[in-house]
Amino acid sequence: MGVVAKRSSMTFYSDPSCHYSHRVRIVLAEKGVTVDIENIDDKVIPEEVLEINPYASLPTLVDRDLALYETKVMMEYLDERFPHPPLLPVYPVARALSRQFMHRIEKDCCIQVDKILSDESSKGAEEARKELRDSLVSIAPIFTELPYFMSEDFTLVDCCLGPILWRLSSLGIKLPNNRQTKPLHDYMQRLFERESFQESLSELEKEM
pLDDT digits (tens, 9 = 90+) for 36-70: 999 999 889 999 999 999 999 999 999 999 999 99
| Pick from 9, 13, 71, 10: nearest CA to 38 | 13
Regarding whether 25 and 76 lie in a shared domain, the answer is: yes
Return the pLDDT at 3. Answer: 40
Cβ-contact 40, 14 below 8 angstroms = yes
Q: Residue 101 belongs to a domain with what CATH number?
A: 1.20.1050.10
Query: CA triplet 46, 171, 68: central angle to 5 degrees?
Result: 35
Residue 119: per-residue pLDDT:
85
46 plus 98 within the same structural domain: no
- Band the pLDDT of 6: cuts 50, 70, 90: very low
Residues 147 and 175 in one domain: yes
Of 61, 81, 101, the one marking the end of a domain is 81
pLDDT on residue 8: 66
- Look at residue 180 and tell me whether its pLDDT is greater than 80: yes
Instruction: For the chain, give the mean pLDDT.
Output: 94
pLDDT at position 80, please? 97
Sign of dihedral through CA atoms 14, 132, 138, 99?
negative
Is the pLDDT at 2 greater than 70? The verdict is no
**What pLDDT is attached to residue 173?**
97
The verdict on 62 and 115 lying in the same domain is: no
Asked which of 3-7, 70-74, 79-83, 177-181 is least confident by mean pLDDT, the reply is 3-7
User: How far is C-alpha 95 from the geometric centre of its chain's CA atoms?
Assistant: 18
Average pLDDT, integer, range 12-41: 97
* pLDDT for 121: 77
Same domain, 190 and 96: yes
CA 93 to chain centre: 23
pLDDT single digits (tens) 99-157 = 999 999 999 999 999 999 998 778 899 999 999 999 999 999 999 999 999 999 999 99
Q: How far apart are CA 111 and CA 105, in angstroms?
A: 9
- 135 in Cβ contact with 109 (< 8 Å): yes
pLDDT of residue 9: 84
Residue 86 lies in a domain: no
Q: How many domains does the chain have?
A: 2
108, exposed or middle or buried, with CB in 10 Å at 0-12, 13-18, 19+?
middle
Reduced to 3 states (helix: H, G, I; strand: E, B; else coil), residue 69 is coil
Which of the 8 DSSP states describes residue 109?
I
- One domain for residues 42 and 125: no
At 22 the pLDDT is 98
How would DSSP label each residue in 1-56? -PPPPPPPSEEEEE-TT-HHHHHHHHHHHHHT---EEEE--TTS--HHHHHH-TT-
